Chain A
Amino acid sequence: NAGVTQTPKFQVLKTGQSMTLQCAQDMNHNSMYWYRQDPGMGLRLIYYSASEGTTDKGEVPNGYNVSRLNKREFSLRLESAAPSQTSVYFCASTGLTDTQYFGPGTRLTVL
């Protein structure tokens, strides 16, 4: 089992460019999440999907969109990147026990 995988690992964008961060899990989990982590800020929830076909906003959804493509995949899209979106992005998934498993993260820099 690979667990939770994320692509890409690193990305540099210019202001205004768009990109999609990909996440997949092979643990048959229902719930998936996108977080961002900035120095001194802790993890902040961007969006989550409690089950296939549903998505909900988290604490900091502005500037992002998500797609729950199927049970395995949950993507995060930045339509028009801004320097304030420079961060480390983590995808996570949860099964029946509430235990959350994280992907290795995507380090995004917006110039």
Chain B
Amino acid sequence: RKEVEQDPGPFNVPEGATVAFNCTYSNSASQSFFWYRQDCRKEPKLLMSVYSSGNEDGRFTAQLNRASQYISLLIRDSKLSDSATYLCVVNKHSGNTPLVFGKGTRLSVIA
């Protein structure tokens, strides 16, 4: 099983739609979870951290299911500007160890 696995997409959705991405991770000892956004030919940027109780930031909601080892990202009322690749990121365990990045899910929001 890959350390972090995501559906590569692309997800093509109309403006205003709700879209959800899932990500699974293999290491049950992982402690930190993130969603990053990467625009074409740009560096990845933190979208949001994912907390055990779930968390929301505007139109974005992240959930963590430790028992099933998956993380989700829900985007409501999609905007054209949401078009990007979304990277699921997990740490192997606590401390100064490298994060593990998924290959990303590509989203295209269409007018």
Contact = CB atoms under 8 A, between A and B. Distances in A.
B98 A98 contact: no
Interface residues of B, number: 21
Contacts of B46: 99-101
A33 B43 contact: no
A43 B45 CA distance: 13
The interface residues of chain B, by DSSP majority, are classed as loop
Interface residues of A, number: 24
B103 A98 contact: no
B91 interface: yes
Contact of A50 (B42, B89, B96): B96
Interface stretch (A63-71, A72-80, A102-110): A102-110
Interface of B: 31-32, 34, 41-46, 49, 87, 89, 91, 96-99, 101-104
28 contacts: A30-B96, A33-B98, A40-B103, A42-B102, A42-B103, A43-B87, A43-B101, A45-B98, A48-B98, A50-B97, A51-B96, A90-B43, A90-B44, A94-B96, A94-B99, A97-B32, A98-B32, A98-B34, A98-B91, A98-B99, A99-B46, A100-B34, A100-B46, A100-B99, A102-B44, A103-B43, A105-B42, A105-B43
